[in-house]
Structure 1
Amino acid sequence: MRNEVTHWQSPHMHAYFPALNSYPSLLGDMLADAINCIGFTWASSPAATELETVVMNWLGRMVGLPDEFLHLRSDSPGGGVIQTTASESTFICLLAGRTEAIRRYKERCPELEDAEINSRLVAYTSDQAHSSVEKAGLIGLVQMRYIESDDQLSLRGDRLREALRKDRANGLIPFFLCVTLGTTGACAFDNLMELGPICKEERLWLHVDAAYAGTAFICPEFRGWLAGIQFADSIAFNPSKWMMVHFDCTAMWVKNSNALHRTFNVEPLYLQHENSGLAIDYMHWQIPLSKRFRALKLWFVIRKYGIKGLQKHIREGVRMAQKFEALVLSDPRFEIPAKRHLGMVVFRLVGDNELTERLLKRINSNGALHCVPASLKGQYVIRFTVTSARTTTEDITKDWAEIRSTASTIIHEYHAANAQVPTTRARARVPLAETRARNELFGSSLLLANSPMSPKIVNGSFAAMFDMDTDMVTECGFNFAHLRLGHKNSPAMRRRIRGMLLSGRQFSLDSRIDLVQGTVQGVLAEEKERRAQGKQAELPLMREDSVEAGGASAEHGHDAQNSHHAGQNRSRSVDRPADVDEDVPDEKPAPPTAKAQAPAAAPAAQ
């Protein structure tokens, strides 16, 4: 079982959001399970109901909520309740907002049915909101409108106004807005101060989802993001995330609990008691009837750590995130596309999303640490959250070393793979049947000696020799215009030429070059003789100014030397035809003489 469990309390667990525990919370949960009471009404468990009321007031004051959200008087409509999850809290508040919107609209148009009004209701949220908001809209059978966030991933007032204007023009009824403080993707914050007055003006139920960041509001320095909370109708966050309280535990406050009563009030006779209507019955504040004694573990944690102890814990998590942020910024291969807030850092490798995706998969497969991704405006990022109360600076440094090492491997593999991909324009493909027919003209194979140190035997197909999207004649003319013709009157050359002429076959690229050069040399020799007799006709293959009288003597030695080296670089494995080389003995070149080196004996130069 140990190897099959994801260890959420590990100091190297950086995925999702924290799901912390503590010994006080563990003891409180054990005691609640031992008591095992079901506190759906005050009568079913007075201690559970009253302790929940007390700790929700404590916690509300700790995070700086206005008094409107607290249980202060018996006639006060506001108050807090412990739900199972933030997702359920969003759904509950959406249903309450829907009930209030239908009730108000029926006062104006009593002839309309509830279902008809419901079909025109529209809820709003940011494109960075949690998936539970979408799920709430699906279950509540209302349209959910996602408004694009700004460059800081924050929902702004002007974009909300524009969306409201368009929907009202189309006959729809806006009724609900979910604002996120501490988004899941990058811990971004919607602009509550801009959105709040609009919701009050347009009579939208304003719900604040602060599932992760809400715990941080215990520290006064982080309450700036809570500005505008006075405009909200409800707010929820999870002590089970960052406050070291065991799951499940979500704190939710509302200004007007009567809206919850109108939505969820089903009170048969067997659930009524002598204090019904006087005491709080939390079954009217939630979807399920039954209720665990969750307040006990929350009370244990607050009593054990106190405000200062919880503040110290939160600030240490933020400090760890700042440490990791500095490490990421020190490596130019990485970037942080969104500003760090609280205890979460999002980072990625510079370049394509594929690089970061490969990095995350390799990190998780290695098993040294665990992270999850997010998508921010089309960018694939890795979320790094300090999720364990046991995480130390040494753990952060170790995890960063693992990330850097894995990144080096991924980048090397990525560039090595891309280096093998040709970057030139792809050549046209020739069908195999067509190449076979053309192979008959070129022989079965060719020895390409263009790279003397690494000759390769290739199929002598037309597709291998020519680029089909270029003019063959133009290409050949261009190559021969730059061909340097040296002194080729060697025994090996003459033997190859005689073999080709006798057999009618050509065996190698060298043989073809020898034949062409030998033919051109013959033409040049005849031209030289005609010029000596006073004939000045131009050669059909070369320009007149390419043959100069003095060039042959000046370049004879250099060309002969080039010819000698070129002959060394050419392969002799397929130069000799089988039916020719046996009859033609090897000829040894005569030693050079002064006469042979004289200018008069030199062949025509190019």
Structure 2
Amino acid sequence: MTPEQFRAHGRKVVDWIADYLASVEEHPVRAQVSPGEVRAALPAHPPEHGEPFDAVLADLDRVVLPGITHWQHPSFFAYFPANASGPAMLGDLLSSGLGVQGMLWATSPACTELETVVVDWLAELLDLPSRFRTDERGGGVIQDSASGAAVVALLAARQRAGEGRHRVYVSSQTHSSLEKAARVTGIGAENVRVVDVDPGSLAMDPEHLDRLITEDLAWGFVPTLVCATIGTTSTTAVDPVPRIGEVCRDHGVWLHVDAAYAGVAAVCPEFRWCNDGVAEYADSYVTDPHKWLLTNFDCSVLWLGDRAPMVEALSILPEYLRNAASSSGEVIDYRDWQVPLGRRFRALKLWSVIRWYGAEGLRAHIRRCGDLADRFADLVAADPRFDLDPHHPFGLVCFRPRWPGASQAESDAATTELMERLNDSGELYLSHTRARGHVVLRFAVGSPATEARHIDAAWQRIAAEYDAVMAERKDR
């Protein structure tokens, strides 16, 4: 493809994306295809001869689009958002066009240095401690996901802890990526200790954490990492980081704070309470701009208060990577800050987002989503047919329909049936979790396209479908 051919087809692609975003509301939110349907519509063998790019776009419409669940749809409420804003997409396009492999400073100095600036900017926007800056002992790095960041943090924590039988501490509400990180790093799932949670708030119990660590020390284990969560995946519960941090400091255990979803809310001063204790106690901290900060996947930022253990754990320098800049010690080589060697120029899209929206625009997005979530919560609270989880500090609302006279098993089954019928309708998309012994529904607001009318329409559809399920249950 020549530059002129690229220019011509590129314009068509940009037009296609713009038209898609303008009309996304016309599609069913969740893909309506059956398993294997997309594969069956595609040739079984690759083409022998090249095809015009127009044929690719035609099949995009004919085959691919019907199999897409539309994460940018204004009625997508199932999971934490995966925003794909215009400036982020353009930044990603620039990254693809440059084709940089940023494993070393020397392989593209701008790739590394722009990233150091952008993660420092974001740390400032979130009011994170100065020790997380890349011009101090710590620093930030863009990872593929909070799951990848968990592996890096655990490797650094294990390096600092030294040899021994390592232990990791999570709660029942901690993201499953921490258990996977224990498996990947060789610590093993059997050495992941589950800390009790408060029955009401579902937040980690620091006293039980202290007892588990003390117990493990007596048994000869090496307490290595505690994960505290700010905004759990199920219900956005917030662990008491200051009290957990005190326990970690008393026992010399690495504290990793997982704020994957909720951490970016701290761009708003009124949400900065969520990071209480981070400045004093956190050894590592992760949040995902690709969830709620208008930056398309993948873009997860991990900060460390001291990068030395991480670099010691991950640095391997074969001869073919040696160069004068790395040997000087004056540059950052991000290959030592992640598991893979190679890395994309992800900083371009986050840089584009911050420059386009500015702090003011980012705050407006977070506040608008919070207001819309409050609107939905008020609708639930006012309806006697539903129970509202009163804890909804961010953009997620959890709620549960009431099924009079039903056992808990019957109630859970009816709630699941209600969710499946709503999702099958294509009008909205919800997800579920299990909290305090019950199946509950999750309603996550985060799309920049969502407006008050979408919230109201979703509630009307939920209430109408509830009535339909209830009527059918009475007839059984």
Could you tell me whether the CA contact under 8 Å between 2:389 and 2:397 is conserved in 1?
no
Q: Does 2:92 align with 1:29?
A: yes
Counterpart code for 1:222: F
Counterpart code for 2:218: A
Alignment of 1:286-297 (within 5 A): 286-297=338-349
**What is the deviation of 1:338?**
4.9
1:492-516: CA deviation from partner (whole Å, max 9, x where unpaired): xxxxxxxxxxxxxxxxxxxxxxxxx
1:409-436: CA deviation from partner (whole Å, max 9, x where unpaired): 111222322xxxxxxxxxxxxxxxxxxx
What percent of counterpart residues are identical? 40
Q: Which residue of 2 aligns with 1:474?
A: none
Instruction: Name which one, 1 or 2, has greater alpha-carbon Rg.
Output: 1
**What is the deviation of 1:21?**
1.2
- Rounded to whole Å, the distance in 1 between the matches of 2:285 and 2:344 is 21
Out of 304, 311, 314, the residue aligned to residue 356 of structure 2 is: 304
Corresponding pairs, count = 399
Counterpart code for 1:282: Y
1:108-138: CA deviation from partner (whole Å, max 9, x where unpaired): xxxxxx5xx2xx2110011101111111112
Q: Does 2:311 align with 1:242?
A: no
Q: Which residue of 2 aligns with 1:499?
A: none
SS at match of 2:439: strand
Could you tell me whether the CA contact under 8 Å between 2:248 and 2:254 is conserved in 1?
yes
Out of 262, 265, 271, the residue aligned to residue 312 of structure 2 is: 262
Out of 195, 198, 203, the residue aligned to residue 247 of structure 2 is: 198
Could you tell me whether the CA contact under 8 Å between 1:214 and 1:237 is conserved in 2?
yes
Counterpart code for 1:167: D
Q: Which residue of 1 aligns with 2:283?
A: 233
Q: Which residue of 1 aligns with 2:182?
A: 137
Q: Which residue of 2 aligns with 1:9?
A: 72
- Rounded to whole Å, the distance in 2 between the matches of 1:185 and 1:126 is 12
Counterpart code for 1:350: R
Q: Which residue of 2 aligns with 1:88?
A: 148
Q: Which residue of 2 aligns with 1:272?
A: 322
- Rounded to whole Å, the distance in 1 between the matches of 2:273 and 2:208 is 22
Q: Does 2:191 align with 1:128?
A: no
**What is the deviation of 1:100?**
1.4
- Rounded to whole Å, the distance in 1 between the matches of 2:179 and 2:440 is 22
SS at match of 1:130: coil
Structure showing greater relative contact order (alpha-carbon pairs closer than 8 Å, 6 or more residues apart): 2
Alignment of 1:311-350 (within 5 A): 311-350=363-402
SS at match of 2:298: coil
**What is the deviation of 1:168?**
2.3
1:471-493: CA deviation from partner (whole Å, max 9, x where unpaired): xxxxxxxxxxxxxxxxxxxxxxx
Counterpart code for 1:123: V
| TM-score of the aligned structures, taking structure 2 as reference length | 0.82
- Rounded to whole Å, the distance in 1 between the matches of 2:424 and 2:179 is 31
SS at match of 2:78: coil
Unaligned 5+ runs, structure 2:
1-63, 404-410
Q: Which residue of 1 aligns with 2:16?
A: none
1:62-85: CA deviation from partner (whole Å, max 9, x where unpaired): 00111111023xxx3211111110
Q: Which residue of 1 aligns with 2:407?
A: none
Alignment of 1:494-509 (within 5 A): none
Unaligned 5+ runs, structure 1:
103-113, 418-606
- Rounded to whole Å, the distance in 2 between the matches of 1:167 and 1:376 is 28
1:20-48: CA deviation from partner (whole Å, max 9, x where unpaired): 01111111111111000101111000000
User: Which moved further from structure 2: 228-237 or 148-157?
Assistant: 148-157
Counterpart code for 1:54: V
| TM-score of the aligned structures, taking structure 1 as reference length | 0.65
Alignment of 1:64-463 (within 5 A): 64-72=127-135, 76-102=136-162, 114=163, 117=164, 120-142=165-187, 143-150=191-198, 151-229=200-278, 230-276=280-326, 277-351=329-403, 352-417=411-476
SS at match of 2:325: coil
**What is the deviation of 1:221?**
0.6
- Rounded to whole Å, the distance in 1 between the matches of 2:452 and 2:102 is 43
CA-atom RMSD, angstroms?
A: 1.1
- Rounded to whole Å, the distance in 1 between the matches of 2:453 and 2:389 is 25
**What is the deviation of 1:268?**
1.1
Q: Which residue of 1 aligns with 2:15?
A: none
- Rounded to whole Å, the distance in 1 between the matches of 2:89 and 2:213 is 47
Could you tell me whether the CA contact under 8 Å between 1:9 and 1:387 is conserved in 2?
no
**What is the deviation of 1:167?**
2.1
Counterpart code for 2:67: E
- Rounded to whole Å, the distance in 1 between the matches of 2:232 and 2:87 is 29
SS at match of 2:399: strand
**What is the deviation of 1:356?**
1.1
**What is the deviation of 1:197?**
1.2
Could you tell me whether the CA contact under 8 Å between 1:18 and 1:385 is conserved in 2?
yes
Counterpart code for 1:14: F
SS at match of 1:292: coil
Q: Which residue of 2 aligns with 1:590?
A: none
